[in-house]
Amino acid sequence: MQPVDLLLLKPMQPSVMDALARSFTLHRADTAPDRDRFYAEIGPRIRGMATGAQAPVDADLIARLPNLEIVASFGVGYDTIDTKAAAARGIVVTNTPDVLTDEVADLALGLLLATVRQIPQADRYLRAGHWPKSPYQLTATLRGRTVGILGLGRIGRAIARRLEGFGVSIAYHGRRPQDDVGYAYHSSLLGLAHAADVLMVVAPGGPETNGLVGAEVLAALGPDGILINVARGSVIDEPALVAALQAGTIHSAGLDVFAREPHVPADLAALDHVVLLPHVGSASVHTRETMGRLVVDNLSHWFGGNGPLTPVPETPWAGQA
């Protein structure tokens, strides 16, 4: 049987690309010198797609692929994929949930500790030779804090379980209260920000959450407040955050994601009381390999006639299950 034609929008790690090349006829959009000509020639043959969060799949691209059946996305977030356009065509979208939950939750706790205790700043202080002259300044603490989690999904819950070991109070905001947890629920994000002095952002991206954490929420968090974001940069109003950090409206921030990655606002990067990471929440060898295998397995199962393994709820397969 002729191998299925598969579109790869951007490179993945070599083991994943090798696995895809063994099972499919691979067509790489990222190396095509003329994208319009590429899609005109290859588009009608494409039945599957492998992509990641930094390669948007919009309605125009979907329209260029008249025989597309499945989009397998590398990552848990899929806000850069037009799932409405996919669903209208009967195209299934899959993501890679669960396999990265623990890695991102670990990173979130590390980022929180690094921000509260100024670990990167203290490291720079030592390396610059300042310690013999005077001890490093005293820092803030986790003691006595309430951590508010925006988005108590898989990753949010994993973060909350880890936080329990630190003896902090935990609260959350989401679409609805969850009966199987004992954390305090707040029906509004503003209410959560007033109640907490750490706001941990784990909400999905997309139009519904765009700029959700803005000036009013940051003001409610207060001058001792700390913002941590391991979700999507779009959830934060970045200019409002920069202004809040510059004015002392909040204490500090730890960010793994940004609105226009890989570009970080210069005003934000210039601040010394923030910790900034280059979107590395799931970026361990182990987890990225596992995510890649799930991308391959979703495609292999689909074209083997066994359905997708991890379909997102907005596209048709979830409705048929």
272 within 8 A of 121, measured Cβ to Cβ = yes
What is the C-alpha separation between 149 and 68, in angstroms, rounded? 38
Catalytic residue among 89, 154, 194, 279: 279
Structure tokens at 163: 């936080």
The single residue of 232, 238, 251, 288 carrying the catalytic annotation is 232
Cα–Cα distance for residue pair 93/276, rounded to 1 Å:
31
Strands (E), the chain: 5-8, 25-28, 46-52, 70-74, 92-94, 146-150, 169-173, 184-185, 198-201, 226-229, 252-255, 274-276
Catalytic residue among 41, 208, 216, 261: 261
Q: In the annotation, is 103 catalytic?
A: no
Q: How far apart are CA 202 and CA 208, in angstroms?
A: 14
Residues 6+ apart with CB under 8 A from 220: 190, 193, 194
Is 279 noted as a catalytic residue in this protein?
Answer: yes
* 288 classed as catalytic: no
Closest CA to 95 of 155, 172, 151, 42: 155
Pairing between β-strand 169-173 and β-strand 184-185 as defined by DSSP bridges: parallel
**3-state class (DSSP) for residue 111:** helix
Could you tell me which residues come within 8 angstroms of residue 257 by beta carbon, excluding any fewer than 6 positions away? 229, 230, 231, 232, 233, 279, 281
Residues designated catalytic: 232, 261, 279
